[in-house]
Chain A
Amino acid sequence: MATTTQPANIGASAGDPEVTASIAALITDAPVPHPTLWKTFSAMMAREFRVLGRNAPSTFIRAVLQPLLFAFVFAYVLPKIGSGFSAGGGAAAGGVNFATILVPGLMGSMFLMQGMFGTTMPLIMEFSWQRTIEDRALAPVPIQVLGIQKITAGAIQAFIGAAIVFPVVYWVHAPGQGPHIHVTNWFLLAVVMIFASTMTASLGLWLGTVVDPRKVQMLFAVILLPITMLGCVYYPWSALHVIRWLQIVTLINPMVYMTEGLRAALTPSLGHMPLWAILLALVGGTVVFGALAVRTFHNRVVN
């Protein structure tokens, strides 16, 4: 073999017998791996949490700022200004303060934001020019498992993001403008939150695999904004009966079922869509978008 003149900063020179021995030992003394689906899956989840932990400050700011600003403007600034707004917001709910209406809506929009930020954005990076996705794709599990792992990680982020809304709206409001929320059915709340977060993460994975990375800005204009604005965030679905066509059209918006599901669990007295319709949409949506996303993900990784 050729001998090398090795600048010190380049590192190992295999011409050195000690280095040669240590490289040889990598082959001769290698531990024997026994991968299983579960070990690989949990190692991948551990990796997600390591990255989340490292990015904790920015993740936290992203997760807190949106509900904080919403609560500040809608539950503090506007009630303080008083006048027409509370009439507008309260019209549908008949005297209920806006914070109460807003909590489920805000949580719904957090599901979407976090689910998409947590799944779509990293995925688009991984599929971009260096295709770092190939690193994880070579792990000894079917590609579909990697897709399910990404949905799981995104769902956990969405769940936490939505849960942060509770403390924020409890603390940030004008005197007497706090939300009136009584969780009477914790089980229903858990079911709604779990399926809402899994559905948004599935939606996020699907978008991340079908959207051209160069057109990612379009996601916000064409997907995120309409879904949020028309997702019954600022008003309950039942209040839309005065604009019947919109009430029907918004049924295709997955966000509607998240916010209505949360209304059913958090503010049942205000009225909500029938529970069977909510659960059918959330569970069905999770299954359909999940299966679709895992499929498109596989086809995008293996070409």
Chain B
Amino acid sequence: MTTVTARLNGHGAPTATSAIKTEGLRKTYKSSRGDVEAVRGVDLDVPQGEFFGLLGPNGAGKSTTIGMLTTLVAPTGGKAWVAGHDVTKETVAVKRRIGVVTQNNTLDMQLTVAENLMFRSRFFGLSTSVAAKRAAALIDAFGLSDRKNAMADQLSGGQARRLMIARALVHQPDVLFLDEPTAGLDPQTRVNLWDILQVLHDQGQTVLLTTHYMEEAEALCDRIAVVDHGKILAEGSLDKLLADSGAQTVVTVRYEEPVPEGLAERAGLAERPGVSKIEAEGDQLRVFSTDAEGLLGDVVTLGTDNGLHVRDASVAKPSLETAFLALTGREYRE
């Protein structure tokens, strides 16, 4: 990774470690049928090396936000910096440092797979020979070798998406933007793309991903912002989002013997932070908590300290889906 040379220019300026920073970012589309507020004041701060997810239903403002961060949509309010550069005043500097995979297939249909990569490399100033080498490496890594001379419009959906990601990486971008990269792909291709993205992230690649697939955000993102109606509803790590949403983890431990009356109460389990309910039923003890850290161990230890033998234990974490629906509601989207 190249280091980001962020400039410290007073209030609101990005810090040296911010890959993406926004302050009150807004976009209102004016039209004769009335204004559409696509993004209504978004504050983001994504440090370098983070895999950040914007999770939201269709029409939540995710793509518009990416559009503004990638200089192709002009904000109508607020500020944003990518890799330390202002997205409205330093568009060329921003474009040099970003790789973008849009939702729509923007491959150059007039060119072959290899040419798509070679010309993109040359757009970014690589010499013809270096560009050819870079294209070959990308084709190899993304498993497109047998399609390298195919025209871009002959690719399958999964191949096209891989080529778009490869193309976004030609110039070693500081930040990789992925707008719903797995939408419309079959499950194999999707999981395969996740693996690729995970490897990139492991190498320190900063990624901003939008998705409306819960499991995608859960599988990949260090931090997630849930967006809807152009606003961030909640933001943080998966665990924090789950805790904030009030969704509860259920720890269930079954013992060989019946659970003695009042055991959990005597041990003070109910006073643990986050615990809302304890159920003792026959040979099993079930604890509901919003803070599951160390809870399973404690419930197991509680039993063994009182002469019980553990037969079976499980932790049912709340899903992001629960948290997501709690935040965004259930009405249908466009």
Contact = CB atoms under 8 A, between A and B. Distances in A.
Interface string A24-48: 1111111111111001100110110
Interface string A1-34: 1101111001111110001101111111111111
A137 B191 contact: no
B198 interface: yes
Contact of A33 (B102, B111, B124): B124
A132 B74 CA distance: 19
Nearest to B201: A27
A11 B107 contact: no
A239 interface: no
Given A54-B110, A134-B72, A140-B124, A10 B196 contact: no
A27 B158 contact: no
A138 B125 contact: no
Interface string B213-250: 00000010000000000000000000000000000000
B162 to A, nearest CB: 7
A130 interface: yes
Contacts, number: 177
B122 interface: yes
A155 to B, nearest CB: 19
B105 interface: yes
Contact of B96 (A23, A35, A46, A143): A35
A50 B200 contact: no
B203 A24 contact: yes
Interface residues of A, number: 57
A5 B104 CA distance: 27
A218 B102 CA distance: 31
Interface in B91-129: 91-92, 95-96, 98, 100, 102, 104-111, 115, 119-126
A25 B106 contact: no
Nearest to B71: A302
Contacts of B100: 134, 138
A32 B142 CA distance: 20
A4 B115 CA distance: 30
Given A43-B119, A302-B73, 5 more contacts: A23-B196, A27-B203, A30-B172, A43-B123, A135-B120
11 contacts: A14-B192, A15-B195, A22-B140, A24-B203, A25-B137, A35-B171, A55-B110, A130-B104, A132-B108, A135-B106, A303-B72
Interface of B: 1-2, 29, 70-74, 91-92, 95-96, 98, 100, 102, 104-111, 115, 119-126, 130, 133-134, 137-138, 140-144, 158-159, 162, 169-172, 188-189, 191-192, 194-196, 198-200, 202-205, 219
